[in-house]
Amino acid sequence: MKKTIYIIASCIIATVVACTNTGTNKESEQTPVTSVDSMIKRGGYLVATIGCGDCHTPKKMTDRGPVPDMDRFLSGYNASTPLGEYDTTLANSGRWALFYGDLTAAAGPWGLTFASNLTPDPTGLGNWTYDNFRKVMKEGKYKGIDNSRPIMPPMPWQNFANLSEDDLKSIFEYLKTIKPVNNLVPQAHLNPPPPAPKQS
């Protein structure tokens, strides 16, 4: 009997404590844990450390080697620079991949691809929704549209598919804040996919 009273008393105390806690937590519930500012900061950190600019930012040649051209930060292959001739026989041999000098274009067994414009200009991600961006990064769908062609190398989306939803959102928020650059990147020239392996 004594034990029952004790248990009931404990339950009442627990309920009162829970109610009081809810009261005091109200204020913190209203302030989102992750503010847009902190997402932008994290997005900038992720973009810098993952190195999206390795392929998406054109480079300037200096005596220290190639450095990112910050006037064209993340704006993709510069459509006003001529690609010039390259050894298509070698690129299509299936054995080699060739990089454009500033790493913003690459040719290999898949064809020829150009790093996209990731700035918030209409020629870049200006009109994209987060869902479009997510479909590129998680599902490898070109332009982030269902039923579009698969994203090709050297874009390593299969690795980026492991990023958490929060990290992807942070990258997207950050990309919206960088300088818009008007640059319509050329269409990729894709080779036909190899024939499916024969069923035995």
Instruction: Assess whether the previous peptide bond of 195 is cis (omega < 30° from 0).
Output: no
For residue 74, what are the contacts with CB-CB under 8 A and spacing of at least 6? 47, 52, 53, 56, 57, 117, 118, 119, 175, 178, 181
Residue closer to ligand HEC by CB (options 25, 129) is 129
Tell whether residue 181 is a contact of ligand HEC (CB under 6 A): no
Burial profile 169-198: b = 16 or more Cβ within 10 angstroms, e = fewer? bbbbbbbbebebbebebeebeeeeeeeeee
Tell whether residue 123 is a contact of ligand HEC (CB under 6 A): no
Read off the tokens for 30.
């209203």
Q: Contact region for ligand HEC (CB under 6 A) — 4-12, 36-44, 52-60, 91-99?
A: 52-60
Tell whether residue 50 is a contact of ligand HEC (CB under 6 A): yes
Task: Find the shortest distance in angstroms from Cβ 119 to ligand HEC.
Answer: 11
Read off the tokens for 194.
């190899």
Residue closer to ligand HEC by CB (options 22, 177) is 177
Positions 148 through 177 that interact with ligand HEC (CB under 6 A) = 151-152, 154-156, 160, 171
Residue among 77, 48, 50, 67 nearest 156 (CA):
50
Residue among 72, 155, 66 nearest 106 (CA):
155
CA distance 66 to 54: 10
Residue closer to ligand HEC by CB (options 10, 129) is 129
- Of the candidates 99, 142, 161, 180, which one interacts with ligand HEC according to CB under 6 A? 142
Tell whether residue 116 is a contact of ligand HEC (CB under 6 A): yes
Q: Contact region for ligand HEC (CB under 6 A) — 16-24, 29-37, 80-88, 136-144?
A: 136-144
What residues line the site for ligand HEC (CB under 6 A)? Answer: 47, 50-52, 54-56, 113, 115-116, 118, 133, 136, 142-143, 151-152, 154-156, 160, 171, 188
